[in-house]
A = this chain, B = another copy of it.
Amino acid sequence: MESDRKKAVVLSSGGLDSTTAMAVAKNEGFDIFSLSFFYGQRHHHELKAAERVAAFFNVKKHLVIHTDLNKIGGSALTDDIDVPKSDDSVIKNEGIPVTYVPARNTIFLAYGMAWAEVLNASDIFIGVNAVDYSGYPDCRKEFIDAFEKMARLATKTGVEGTTALSIRTPLISLTKAEIIKLGTWLGVDYQITHSCYDPSEKGLACGRCDSCILRRKGFMVAGVKDPTPYISK
């Protein structure tokens, strides 16, 4: 028996943003289908976090797609380029950061679209954010709108006119502090999430990379206690 409840595919990195996006979907009453990717990223610890998050939200199914995106290259997150630390100039939000992975959100959303079609899900949630990641072209509203339009033409449902797929970006115009406040209000336990681009072997956050700094600052500004044990204080 197919459930009558509405279904959402939620792209989950195990990080702070996607976990908050999942909390929003849950709060709207969706059955959640969480989708993660193993793509040769250095921080495979995020996959463990994504599993913890899936369990926390009691998702209907958690799917991990393996793909060797790293063969394409072009990013510090999959290549042998050093991940920038806080003392480097690249992190200061000038232009497009070196941690940008070409077409990553497009590829991830395309898989989400495939799964949504099979599940007959009406919504895909993605935790993109245009405030803190203003340098990433595929975090902007114009991109998301164009993807949604394309997706509606790309799928069976688009042709047969049954369900019009919506790409949902509940965090797109929030600051990190606002995201943390929203998630805290929705009951997210941020201790289970992972943000660091350059963790230790055991998965401890470095505290100094782009992503750690945004996270730490976010908790500070939000006035919420940060549960993350960082290597660098």
**A contact residues vs B (CB 8 Å cutoff):** 63, 65-69, 71-74, 96, 100-107, 110-111, 113-115, 117-118, 137-138, 140, 142-143, 146-147, 149-151, 153-156, 158-160
Closest 5 A/B residue pairs (Cβ): A103-B114, A67-B67, A74-B118, A146-B150, A102-B117
Given A65-B68, A67-B65, decide whether A113 and B117 contact each other with a Cβ distance below 8 A: no
Residue of B with least CB distance to A149: B146
B102/A114 in contact, CB under 8 A: yes
Residue on B nearest A79 in the bound complex, by CB: B118
Contact B74 A151, beta carbon cutoff 8 Å: no
Complex Cα spacing A165 to B24, Å: 35
Alpha-carbon distance A67/B107, docked complex (angstroms): 11
Q: Tell me, rounded to whole Å, the shortest Cβ–Cβ distance linking A69 to chain B.
A: 7
